[in-house]
Amino acid sequence: MEITNVMEYEALAKEKLPKMIYDYYASGAEDQWTLMENRNAFSRILFRPRILIDVSKIDMTTTVLGFKISMPIMVAPTAMQKMAHPDGEYATARASAAAGTIMTLSSWATSSVEEVASTGPGVRFFQLYVYKDRSVVTQLVKRAEKAGFKAIVLTVDTPRLGRRESDIKNRSNHRLQITNLPLFIASITELTCFLNVPSYRFVLPQNLSLKNFDGLNLGKLDKTDDSGLASYVAGQVDRSLSWKDVKWLKSITPLPILVKGVLTAEDARIAVQSGVAGIIVSNHGARQLDYVPATITALEEVVEATQRRVPVFLDGGVRRGTDVFKALALGASGVFIGRPVIFSLAVDGEAGVRKTLQMLHDELELTMALSGCRSLAEITRNHIVAPWDPPRIAPKL
């Protein structure tokens, strides 16, 4: 069956991956209201297309932090990609470079910054979690710089890990679905854990590690009564992180810093004052605090608060070129995609990620043509109507 949109990869990935792994990627926090809302909110924004404009040439290129890319669609950091596919972050790095766009590597990648850099040229950002032990952070940032990463994406919404119930629960409803050798190994590990530990929860399969931390003895997740990752975060990540640490981070690296996880005008203003190079409006793929708004709903207030002094990006729920257009119309300088990359990686490795990026590229191009926009600069607020807009036709009293 031909895949015609990025969402179709999710169902195929679900068939292919062991349940523990699929659930880790797919789930949101608690009631998963924000998870659904990240998608639903896009569907409430409609178009106001302009017609009879010569759209025989469409330019989708843009510049992010001075780097020219082929389209305003970039790859978000997602953790532990070798659980999805043996090529993991290598495949994502190659596919992103081939598409002419930026990949963000997760701190919790199963390939190190050096390994990802070894895949060849490409503009890459490094997502950072700040550990309690600041020497770990300093070393990691230096390694990212040396490996040619171009920006630090500081995650600011994770003083503690959100409560993803399937990661806690995955035990009695354990099913083994073995489709290839690495997954077979992962599944055996799962089975072993299941037999040994009565209350087995999400944990990184034993053949994998958080490669950036291997040399620092922080590469493994322990088996615990909670989600293995939640316990890891509680043990290692600094929950006292505050704006003064953004200043500290600026003092240890010349790389530009993007803060990822801003959802309010108040924090957007502080971010600008703190000298960040940009803001990513993100709710962490709805995996942290449930009942925060969809990112597309929060975007405009953040953009307005920055007074366009820094670029604002968005991630969360982007599955269509039309979603990208809506984000740009609301003031985003670009978007990042997370789960579509993971699920297409799981199904088809590098080729899957390439196809995902190509499909979103083509959909955005078509949306621009059908809306009468020949360049990203021509996309305006008037090309869409949002539920919070005042009615265009005043009701007759």
Measured from the CB atom, the residue of 10 and 301 that comes closer to ligand GLV is 10
Question: Any contact of residue 268 with ligand GLV (CB under 6 A)?
Answer: no
Question: Any contact of residue 287 with ligand GLV (CB under 6 A)?
Answer: yes
Q: How far is Cα 181 from Cα 251, in angstroms, rounded to an integer?
A: 45
Do 271 and 262 meet the contact criterion of CB atoms below 8 Å apart?
A: yes
Do 289 and 157 meet the contact criterion of CB atoms below 8 Å apart?
A: yes
Interface with ligand GLV in residues 212-241 (CB under 6 A): 229
**Total residues at the site for ligand GLV (CB under 6 A)?**
4
Measured from the CB atom, the residue of 159 and 372 that comes closer to ligand GLV is 159
Q: How far is the CB of 2 from ligand GLV (least distance, A)?
A: 31
Residue 46 corresponds to which tokens in the numbers above? 């409609």
Q: How far is the CB of 150 from ligand GLV (least distance, A)?
A: 21
Q: How far is the CB of 341 from ligand GLV (least distance, A)?
A: 14
Q: What is the chain's alpha carbon radius of gyration, rounded to the nearest angstrom?
A: 21
Q: How far is Cα 135 from Cα 216, in angstroms, rounded to an integer?
A: 10
Question: Any contact of residue 260 with ligand GLV (CB under 6 A)?
Answer: no
Is residue 285 left, alpha or beta, with left meaning phi > 0 and alpha meaning psi from -120 to 50?
left
Question: Any contact of residue 341 with ligand GLV (CB under 6 A)?
Answer: no
Please give the angle made by the CA atoms of 247, 250 and 254, to the nearest 5 degrees.
170
Measured from the CB atom, the residue of 45 and 292 that comes closer to ligand GLV is 292
Q: How far is the CB of 31 from ligand GLV (least distance, A)?
A: 17
* DSSP line for 33-91: HHHHHHHHHHHT-EE----S---SS-B--EEETTEEESSSEEEPP-S-GGGT-TTHHHH
* Choice from 16, 82, 150, 284 touching ligand GLV (CB under 6 A): 284
Q: How far is the CB of 393 from ligand GLV (least distance, A)?
A: 44
174 is catalytic: no
Q: How far is Cα 327 from Cα 7, in angstroms, rounded to an integer?
A: 18
Annotation: binding site for glyoxylate: 24, 129, 164, 260, 284, 287
Question: Any contact of residue 249 with ligand GLV (CB under 6 A)?
Answer: no
- How far, CA to CA in Å, does 11 sit from each of 29, 32, 241, 315, 360? 20, 18, 37, 21, 18
How many other C-beta atoms are found inside a 10 Å radius of the C-beta of residue 68?
10
Q: How far is the CB of 58 from ligand GLV (least distance, A)?
A: 35
Residue 88 corresponds to which tokens in the numbers above? 């993991």
Measured from the CB atom, the residue of 290 and 301 that comes closer to ligand GLV is 290
Catalytic residue chosen out of the listed positions 85, 174, 284, 383: 284
What does the per-residue mask of binding to ligand GLV show for 54-93, with x meaning CB under 6 A? -------------------------x--------------
Measured from the CB atom, the residue of 79 and 299 that comes closer to ligand GLV is 79
Measured from the CB atom, the residue of 32 and 322 that comes closer to ligand GLV is 32
Q: How far is Cα 340 from Cα 355, in angstroms, rounded to an integer?
A: 10
Task: Enumerate the active-site residues.
Answer: 284
| Residues near ligand GLV, by CB under 6 A | 79, 229, 284, 287
